[in-house]
Amino acid sequence: MNDDIFKKIAAKNNVSVEEVKEEINKSIREACKNPDAPINKIGAGPIPTAEEVIEYALKEIAKSNMN
What is the pLDDT at residue 31? Answer: 95
CA gap 59, 61 in Å, rounded: 5
Residues 30-39 have pLDDT tens digits of: 999 999 999 9
Q: Among residues of the chain, what percentage have pLDDT more than 90?
A: 76
Selected residue with higher pLDDT from 5 and 66 = 5
Return the domain boundaries, the chain. 4-66
Using the predicted structure, report yes or no on whether residue 1 has a pLDDT greater than 90: no
Please say if the pLDDT value at position 44 is more than 80. Answer: yes
The end-to-end CA distance of the chain, in Å, is 25
CA separation for the pair 7, 30 (Å, rounded): 23
